[in-house]
Homo-oligomer: A and B are copies of this chain.
Amino acid sequence: MLYFVNDYSAGCHEKVMQRLVETNLEKQAVYGEDIYSLSAKEKIRKACDCENAEIVFISGGTQTNQLAIDSLLLPHEGVVCAESGHINVHESGAIEYTGHKVLTLPEHDGKIDAGELRDFMQRFYADENYEHCVFPGLVYITFPTEFGALYSRKELEALRKVCDEYKLSLYMDGARLGYGLACRENELTLADIARLTDAFYIGGNKVGALFGEALVFTKNNMPRHFITHVKRHGALMAKGRVLGVQFDALFTDDLYMEIGRHAMRLADKLRAAFEEKGYQFFKKTPTNQIIIVVDDEKKAELEKKVAFSFWEKLDDTHTAIRFVTDWATREEDVDALIELL
């Protein structure tokens, strides 16, 4: 079976695994004070060109979003995101569990528009009863989005500008950040992201780690005693070294970007094949998720040999389906899939 279901079905990149094995029996300091965590943080600071960045490693994405957003919001504030935002639809109400409302804007391939954000803020403060409403306090974006789209530099700068005007924090969910950074259409570097956001996370779970994400605060804005916040959320790993070793490996010899480039090269190859063979795209986005429209006959035929994911039933005879490449995708599998199209 050719496997294109998602980017978190395999374990981790061999170089990450190798480091876990090599360091396994070392006795290390706990709760993130081990030498690997310290080294990984230093490497990430350099990669972000942000020497004051404060970094915490967390086991998964929902946990990271929940912790970061809850910590950056004041009690009377909520988080603004696209209707399609992961926190709004697929995190089981993890944000609301922390007591905060998710406020939504229209989505454009999963992105929000700076102009619409400004309108939203203007309407908010124009309502004379705004103190009876939830104050927008932070903007949540995904990069790449849930549909695989990327913000251009101009778009991200425009969002930053509105955030500054209205004193909103800007937070980026980078679950698939490596694939976004390595995308040929991408205009943003890690340093840009560090500069333009208040916090973001570098996804590991979907980008070569066994598990784990690196939450980065870029503006000296990590809450004091943040480790206590983390533990209170149940999110502090005793063996922080397990996360540290992985991110240290991912940020050694450009591995994180290498992983991204590998997946993107194969995604581009596959996307080109779909295009050439006349498939219609459900959303035409440039990263490692390819969502196409097929008739159900073709779908049934493909299912015999290929594992992909169902996206949405479109009409009686057509379905949107998704193919994903990642660090573990083999070129021969992409070629075999192309043969079947």
Contact = CB atoms under 8 A, between A and B. Distances in A.
A312 B89 CA distance: 30
A59 interface: yes
B6 A25 contact: no
Interface string A173-213: 00000000000000000000000000000000110001100
Give the most central of A67, A97, A133: most B CB within 10 Å: A97
Nearest to A22: B11
A5 interface: yes
A300 interface: no
A39 interface: no
Contact of A24 (B17, B63, B238, B307): B17
A70 to B, nearest CB: 7
A236 B92 CA distance: 10
Given A21-B17, A91-B132, A242-B11, A60 B27 contact: no
A108 interface: no
Contacts of A26: 10-11
Contact of A60 (B94, B133, B238): B238
Give the most central of A101, A131, A232: most B CB within 10 Å: A232
B228 A92 contact: yes
B94 A242 contact: no
A41 interface: no
A14 B21 CA distance: 9
Given A17-B24, A307-B27, A101 B90 contact: no
Interface string A226-257: 01110111111111011000000000000000
A57 interface: no
Interface string A99-141: 1111000000000000000000000000011011111000000
Give the most central of A61, A133, A310: most B CB within 10 Å: A133
A239 B11 contact: yes
Interface in A130-182: 131-135
Contacts of A239: 8-9, 11, 205, 210-211
Which 9 A-B pairs give the minimum distances between C-beta atoms?
Answer: A63-B234, A11-B24, A92-B231, A76-B228, A93-B134, A92-B232, A93-B101, A96-B101, A9-B27
Given A134-B93, A205-B238, A228-B132, A24 B9 contact: no
Interface in A32-84: 59-67, 70-71, 74-76, 78
A206 B94 CA distance: 28
Contact of A59 (B23, B59, B228): B59
15 contacts: A8-B239, A11-B20, A11-B23, A11-B242, A12-B24, A17-B24, A27-B328, A59-B59, A60-B237, A76-B92, A76-B232, A92-B134, A93-B232, A206-B238, A211-B238
Given A76-B225, A231-B131, A310-B128, A8 B93 contact: no
A6 B30 contact: yes
A54 to B, nearest CB: 15
A87 to B, nearest CB: 10
Given A61-B238, A75-B223, A225-B76, A94 B27 contact: no
B232 A129 contact: no
